[in-house]
């Protein structure tokens, strides 16, 4: 297959980890006879410096014409004092909205060699395998600008959703649950918020179309607690934008390091943008020590969701699993023993693993 991929490395460690993903993707392309054409564009702080906007028109147009987008990270202290419409993060929010990427998939699964790096007891996290599905283009993040007011004395942010927006994300979550362990936890704040009451209604209506999926409703505060007390009790979790932002960061530390976690932001036609869950990590940028595995696993998600290349995706995921099994890790992973390597060396061991191992399905069902 021939695919056009836009690379938005962004800020901080973005460039270093993007390079790793590119190298690994080229290796996969060679092995399977695909052609991946990469086109690099600016976003976030870099775009602000170069073009005075966090999302240049040219970047957005290139994404619109591509088959998929890979994103590194945006943001950093350089732009902290910029007004909100000129912050690197604004570029990220705008691109999600403009491209219609309403479904954010954040799988959280622990790798066996990293279990002891979790802040929770090993036996508690051991069987955790959660797919967090966060609505990404609505809610408090995107209240009408005219309704966002701050007159110095009072301030307003608006939480708005249409029924249709809720139906789309809830459908996506039921479909995902069907491919996994058929359990869906819907998270809301229906004891307080009107939007949550409609959300719950939509989930209950949709549940009739998916009788094979077991549905549970949890209030967001209880869900935050259960993520710590019983993470293995979750299969697919679906929630609105802000709750999903918070819960996915909470869940990400369960597995030992946020540096490992990939994400997909997709729409119904299969187009998507893929990025690691971690941020731009300005404190370690340029040092060659960033963990490239979250980015590599994000590229694997791209192969699976946007290109239908299941076997290729599995191969990448299994290679990552194997390098961890062999004791390789970057400095963000607080693991005992093994060998600490930098970004380039980690990428090389992943490449070696790709050339020497055969595909097994031991881990690749993890992101269904
Ligand atoms: C995320 C990030 C973003 C968000 C920020 C950088 C705007 O935290 O992708 O989770 O809040 O969505
Ligand atoms: Mg976040």
Residues 230-242: pLDDT tens digits?
999 999 999 999 9
Closest residue by Cα to atom 1, ligand 1, is: 245
Q: Would you state the pLDDT for residue 333? A: 85
Which residues surround the ion ligand 2 when the cut-off is CB under 5 Å?
Answer: 245
Asked whether 250 lines ligand 1 (CB < 6 A), one says no
Q: Rounded mean pLDDT of 349-363?
A: 76
Q: Output the residue whose Cα is nearest ligand 1's atom 6.
A: 89
For residue 366, pLDDT over 60 is answered with no
- Could you give the domains of the chain? 119-132+154-255 (3.40.50.2300)
Give the ranges where 209-276 is alpha helix by DSSP (H).
220-229, 241-252
Mean pLDDT score across all residues of the chain: 94
Per-residue pLDDT of 143-198, as tens digits, reads 877 767 788 889 999 999 999 999 999 999 999 999 999 999 999 999 999 999 99
Specify the range with the lowest mean pLDDT, choosing from 204-218, 286-300, 335-349. 335-349
**61-113 residue pLDDT tens:** 999 999 999 999 999 999 999 998 899 999 999 999 999 999 999 999 988 88
Distance CA 332, CA 311 (A): 29
**Per-residue pLDDT tens digits for 185-204:** 999 999 999 999 999 999 99
Crossing angle (nearest 10°) for helices 310-325 and 14-32 = 120
Residue 368: what pLDDT? 54
Q: What are phi and psi of 155, to 5 degrees?
A: -140, 145
Ligand number with the minimum distance to the CA of 79: 1
Can you give the pLDDT at residue 159? 96
CA of 47 to the centre of ligand 1 (A): 18
Query: Measuring from atom 4 of ligand 1, which residue has the nearest CA?
Result: 245
**Whether the CB of 94 sits within 6 Å of ligand 1:** no
How many Cβ atoms sit within 10 Å of the Cβ of residue 246?
14
Distance from Cα 1 to the centre of ligand 1, integer Å: 32
Active site residues: 141, 189, 221, 245, 249
């Amino acid at each position: 297959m021939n695919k056009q991929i836009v690379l938005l490395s962004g800020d901080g460690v973005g460039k270093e980890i993007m390079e790793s993903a590119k190298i690994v993707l080229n290796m996969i392309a060679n092995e399977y006879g695909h052609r991946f054409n990469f086109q690099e564009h600016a976003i976030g702080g870099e775009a602000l410096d170069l073009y005075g906007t966090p999302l240049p028109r040219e970047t957005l147009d290139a994404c619109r014409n591509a088959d998929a987008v890979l994103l590194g990270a945006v943001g950093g202290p350089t732009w902290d004092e910029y007004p909100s419409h000129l912050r690197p993060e604004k570029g990220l929010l705008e691109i999600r909205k403009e491209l219609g990427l309403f479904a954010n998939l954040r799988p959280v699964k622990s790798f066996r060699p990293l279990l002891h790096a979790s802040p929770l007891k090993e036996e508690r996290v051991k069987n955790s395998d959660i797919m967090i599905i966060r609505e990404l283009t609505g809610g408090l993040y995107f209240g009408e600008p005219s309704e966002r007011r701050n007159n110095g004395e009072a301030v307003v942010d608006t939480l708005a959703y249409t029924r249709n927006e809720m139906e789309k994300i809830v459908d996506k979550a039921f479909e995902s649950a069907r491919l996994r362990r058929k359990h869906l936890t819907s998270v809301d704040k229906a004891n307080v918020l009107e939007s949550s009451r409609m959300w719950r209604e939509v989930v209950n209506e949709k549940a009739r179309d998916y009788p094979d999926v077991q549905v549970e409703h949890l209030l967001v505060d209880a869900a935050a607690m259960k993520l710590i007390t019983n993470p293995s009790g979750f299969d697919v979790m679906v929630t609105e934008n802000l709750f999903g932002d918070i819960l996915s960061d909470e869940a990400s530390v369960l597995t030992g390091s946020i540096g490992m976690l990939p994400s997909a932001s997709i729409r119904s036609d299969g187009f998507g943008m893929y990025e690691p869950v971690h941020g731009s990590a300005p404190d370690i940028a340029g040092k060659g020590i960033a963990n490239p595995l979250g980015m590599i696993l994000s590229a694997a998600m791209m192969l699976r969701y946007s290109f239908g290349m299941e076997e290729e995706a599995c191969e990448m995921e299994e290679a990552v699993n194997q390098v961890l099994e062999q004791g390789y890790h970057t400095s963000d992973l607080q693991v005992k023993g093994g060998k600490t390597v930098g970004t380039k060396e980690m990428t090389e061991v992943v490449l070696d693993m790709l050339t020497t191992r055969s595909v097994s399905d031991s881990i690749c069902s993890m992101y269904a």
